[in-house]
Amino acid sequence: MSEVTARPGDVLGPVVVGPVAHGGHWVARLDGYVWFVRHALEGETVTLRVREVGKRFGRADVAEVLRASDDRVPAPCPIAGECGGCDFQHVAVGAQRELKEQVVAEQLRRLAGVDAHVPVEAADPDALGWRRRMRYHRAGDAWGLRAARSDTVVPLPPGGCRIAAPELAVPPSGAPQGDQVIGALSQEGVHWGDLRDATVLPERAAHRRWDVAANGFWQVHPQAADVLVEAVLEGLSPRRGETAADLYCGVGLFSGALVDAGVDVVGIEGSLDAVALARRNVPEARFVAGAVERSLRKLPSDLDLVVLDPPRTGAGRAVIRAVLERGPRAIAYVACDPAALARDLATALADGWRVQGLRAFDLFPMTHHVESVAILVR
């Protein structure tokens, strides 16, 4: 490979684009050097505009499409090429799910040694107007969203964010002052606040009412909570009288579903505010406030079921092994990142467990993100 002399802003190519990679970009090789390219599609011939140059690889955007894929469509949003929120607006919706299937399969194969094709299931709405929680950043006198891998704020286009629920597409003139504003669409309607706004908002999912803080975590797709609960219950088949742990339990979504199935539940969550709401939402369960990896000793020594819903970085080897040592008959792992899922699955597989079921859901249309639910048994 010859020395790379390109600098940010340079235009290179043409180059034929290779396969999609995890993270919302495609792999392209030019003179032996690897570029991770946004807004491309496999098989296209494009020129690249350089963003970053490293020793092993660089990052770039498509500067010009010289030969387009049949799956390329006009992006619904005029700032899709600048904003970091949407990676796939240039891809037909059905093809977006196929790309996510490829990424999930590649991560499972490379990191866990699991050879599986997992169809990515659609949820309604499956394209635009789905996001029920938004965070906007101030851009001068306007509001905007951050560019990819940057603190630069891209001002919203006329009509606002296309993936936001229409009520949240543009912050109102009366939105709180400051550098950032959050919007939430709940059962009571629209709420706008700043990052410190812990106003409790009502949600409904899994046949229950939930209290959720405006600045706390709740699934952003309107179908996500019900879809994920259904997948977890279907995979675990809980039996009345069993004991379960709900790790990274948030405000208690899976705990409530398991309690309603007759299971005795202990939940662990690092956020004190979320635990306070979980206790209010699911008084039938017991909740522990603290980091999961340091609080596992407070769980029963024997468990029948475990639900893991870790952050994007995954649960990690220590947590997975501590869970396996308690010998549950089944584990449901809810993952928002296929690489983290694959790494944690590899730990369980090495200890003699197997993947009994695996489903994936397109709960973040127009982005590269995909939600998965894996069921593990010994």
Residues carrying an active site annotation: 336
Task: Tell me whether the omega of the peptide bond preceding residue 78 falls within 30 degrees of 0, making it cis.
Answer: no
Single-letter amino acid, residue 28: A
The vertex-91 CA angle with 85 and 96, nearest 5°, equals: 80
Q: Edge-to-edge strand order for the sheet containing 330-335?
A: 120-122, 354-362, 371-377, 330-335, 305-308, 243-247, 264-269, 286-289
C-alpha 61/C-alpha 77 separation (Å) is 17
Dihedral angle sign, alpha carbons of residues 27, 28, 29, 34: negative
Give dist(CA 103, CA 116) in Å, integer: 11
Measured between its terminal Cα atoms, the distance across the chain in Å is 47
The DSSP string of 253-282 is HHHHHHHHTT-EEEEEES-HHHHHHHHHH-
Three-state DSSP at 177 gives: coil
Between CA 319 and CA 5 the distance in angstroms is: 44
Q: Please check whether residue 33 is in contact with residue 1, taking contact to mean a CB–CB distance below 8 angstroms.
A: yes
- Helices 338-350 and 317-325: crossing angle, nearest 10°? 40
Nearest C-alpha neighbor of 75 from the set 62, 61, 55, 91: 91
Q: Among 159, 205, 210, which residue's Cα sits nearest to residue 363?
A: 205
Q: How many residues does the chain have?
A: 378
